[in-house]
Structure 1
Amino acid sequence: MPGGIDPHTHLETHFIYSDTVDDFFTGQAAALAGGTTMNINFAMPINGSLTAGFEDFAKKAKKSCMDYGFHMAITKWDEVVAKEMEIMVEKGINSFKFFLAYKPALMINDELLIRGMRKCKSLGALPMVHAENGDAIEEAAQMMIDLGITGPEGHALSRPPVLEGEATARAIRLAAFVNTPLYVVHVMSIDAMEEIARARQAGQRVIGEPIGAGLVLEESGIFDPDFTTAAKYLMSPPIRKAGHDKALQAALSTGVLQLVGSDHCSFNSTQKALGIDDFRKIPNGVNGIEERMHVVWDSMVESGLITPSDYVRITSTECARIFNIYPRKGAILAGSDADIIVLNPNASFEISAATQHRNSDTNAFEGISGKGKVEVTIAGGRVVWEGDELKVVPGSGRYIEMPPFSYLFNGIDKADAAYLSSLNAPVQRVKAVVA
C-alpha cells in the first residue's frame, strides 16, 4: 500500500523549555521503520520571523532520510508577517498554524486569528489551530499549584475537555465568519470532535485530525505515582479519560474525523524531569512517528472498524489531498513517487523503548502489542526497511513543495458571493419597505 504520510510532527524543535530529542535523521529513520515515508513538520518562527524560521528548519532538514514538507506557525502579526506568508507559499508551504494556548509563549488572540485566517484564505493556504483556551488553562494551572498539586496530574486537571471544546468551537465559528477551510490539529476529546461534527454537518469545511496517542491511550498513565512514568504521557491537549479514545475511533471510522497524525514531539526522561516540582515546566509531548501506522491498523482495521482501503485513506491519501500533493504522494500509480509499504496483517508487533529506533529512553506506547506489522518500506524507490533492518542514508530525503489552493478551496469564491448576498438581503428588504 502507499507509504504513510504523517501530517503532524515536531522534529528538532525548541519548545518553550527544551529541544525535542529527535532530529530529522533519527525521527525519520524511526518513521520509515514504522511505515511512514513522508512527514510534514511544524517550522517555528524565530522572534516572529517566518523567513528566519524557514531557513533554520531547512538547514536542520539537510540530514533527512525521507521526504518532508513544512507547516509554518504564526505567533505575532504585522505587515512584515503578512508579507512573509506570501513568501512562504512561494516556497511550498500551504498551511499556517495558530496556537490558542501556551500563554504567553505562543498563544495568539482572536484578532490575530481572524487576520491570519483572512490572509490564509487570500493565499489559498489552510489555517490550522491548536484548540485549547489558553487564558482559562493559565488560571486553572495556577489553581493546581496553589492547591499543592505540582505533579503531572496537575497538567491533565488544568486542561479539561471543555476547554478544548470551547476553543474548537470558537475557531470553527471564526472560520465560518471568514469563510475559510479550517484544520483542527490533535483532536483529543469528545467535546472537540462533536464541534467538528456539527460544523461538517452544516456544510462547513473543517478537517479534524486525531493522533495515535488519543486513539489508543487513556489518562490513567499521567496519574501514576512514579513521576518518570507519569511525565512521559504529558502532552497538550492531554490524553483523555477512557471513552474519549473509543469515541474518536468511531468518529474516524464514520468520516467525522479525516486523517491520523502522530504529533511526534518527543523528549527523554531527563528533559521531562525539568518539571519535577512544577508540571508547568515539563516539556509537552509524546512520541508516535514510528508507532502510528501500527496502532492505527490494530485499533481500526484488526478491530473491524474500517477496511484496509479506509486505512490507506486516513494514514496517507487524505493527507496528500488536503495538502495538495496527490497523486504524487498517497497513491501507487504511474508517475507517483515510489513510496510503498508491505504490511503483513497476520504478523504481530510489540512496542517498547528498548526496540524503538529513535533517541528517547521512554515510550508512551510501552507494552502495547497487536496485529499488523510493516515488514518492508520503500521510500523514493529505495528499500529502506526490510527484515527488521534499517538502510537509511542522511541527506537522501527531499523537500516536497505543497502548492496552495487544495480541493478544500474549491467554490470558495461562489460561497463568498452567496454569503455577501445573504448579508445584503435584509438591507434590500428594508429599502423596499421604506420606498
Structure 2
Amino acid sequence: MTDNLSIRAIEERLLTRWPETKLEPSLDRIVNVMRLLGDPQRRYRGIHITGTNGKTSTARMVEALLAASGERTGRLTSPHLTSVRERIGIAEEVIDVRAFRSAYSAVGKQAELVDATMRHPLSFFEMTVAMAYRAFADAAVDVAVVEVGMGGRWDATNVIDADVAVVLPVDLDHTDYLGPTTATIAQEKAGIIKPGSVAVSARQSADVAAVLQARARSVGASLVVQGNDFSLLRRTAVEGGQVISVQGLHGTYSNVFLALHGRHQADNAACAIAAAEAAAGRQLDLAAVRAGLGQVASPGRFDVRPGEPLVILDAAHNPHGARALVESLTELAPCRTFAVVAAMADKDVEGVLRELEPVVDVVVCTRNSSPRSIAPAKLAATARQVFGAQRIHVAFNVATAIEKARALAAPLPGRAPDALLLVTGSVVTVGDANRVLPPGPPMGQALPG
C-alpha cells in the first residue's frame, strides 16, 4: 500500500529509479503509463516551455498571469530545491501532501505494469511527469503550464499536446545529449511545437530561428517572435524588481511592476505575456497583468535573502545563465561580492567562472550534495586559472562555504558593511543553501541600491 507513505518515503522510492541525468530517446514508457491512466494530460489546455535558461521563471510568470486572469492553473517545473513536491503546483500553491500521495499511488500501480513490459523501468522524471499530469486532472485545472526537463522532442513532458509552445533563448547546454551546436539543440527543443499550435519564440540566433521557422511550417503552427510580433518596449530597474512596458500580441501593457530582477527576466516576462495572450486568444486585462507580475516569485533565481551580508541565491549552471546573473548583479549598488560556487562535473565550469570573474571579488569553491558535483579541489584548480590564487578559498560543503564566505566578507576596519554573498553554480547548490539560510523576504521587499 502506498496511500499512507510519507513524502520522504515516496521521494526515496522515486530516487531508486533511473536518475534524471540518465536518458533514453524514447517516449514509449511515458506514453504507455499515461494511456493506462486514461491520458489525463488531454483533459486541460497546455502551455509547454523549453529553452536553455529561464524556463522555471517564465513558467511561474505564465502561471501568475493566467491565475490573475481567472484560470485554475497547474504548473510542472524542475528540478526542485528542497522537496520533490515543489515540482507540482496547483492554483499557484505547491501540491498538498494528500494530493501528492494520491498521484503517486495512482501512477505507481500503472508503472509496475509498464515496467514489467519494457527494457528499462520508468525513470524518476517520467514518474514525476505522470504524477503531475494525473494531479492536474484530479484538481480539474483549466490549463497546465509545463516546463521541459531537457530538450523537448524526447522529453517525457512532450506527451502533452500543448496549445502554446514557448521557446526561450537557445544556447549550448547538455551537448552530450542534445547535440554540439545551437542548431542541433534547437531541433530537439522545436519538437514541442505541435500541429495547429502557437509557438512563441524569444529572440534567437539566425541558425536557431531558421530551425523554429522550419518546424512551425512543417506542422502548420503559427510562429510569433519577440522583436517582430511582440516586444519589450522599455524597462527600468527599481527597488524590489523593475518596471516594464510590453507590446503583446493583442495589446500594450505599460508601467507594469515585475517582482524579478534583470533584463533577462524582463524579456522572459514579454514571452510570458505573449504566451498567456495566445492561450486566451485575446488581450489580457492590464490589472490582471499587474497583479500577476507584481507578486510573482522564482525561488533560487536571483533569490534575495535578508541579513548581513545580503545573500543572493542563483541557480546559474552554464555560461549563458551566468551572463544573465552578472547583468543583474551590476544593477545593484557597488559592493564587494563573495561567491560560494559548487557545480556539476559535466558542466562548462570554466565558462561560468569566466563570466563571473569581472563582478566577483572572492570565490569559495565547494561541492554540493549531488554525487555529480565536481570535487572542491578540482573546481578550485580551475578557478585559480581564472581568478588567480589569492581570490580562491576551499570548503568541504555548501554550509561551511557560506560560513567561510561570511567571515571573509566581514566589514573592513573603520568601514560600513559593503559586502554581498552570492551562492551559485547549480540548482542543487542553491537547494543546499536554502536549507541553512533564513527564508526570503515578504513579496515586494526592496533590494538596496
Answer whether TM exceeds 0.5 for this pair.
no
Q: Please, what TM-score do these two structures have when normalized by structure 1?
A: 0.29
Q: Please, what TM-score do these two structures have when normalized by structure 2?
A: 0.29
Structure ranking higher on relative contact order (CA contacts 8 Å, 6+ apart): 1
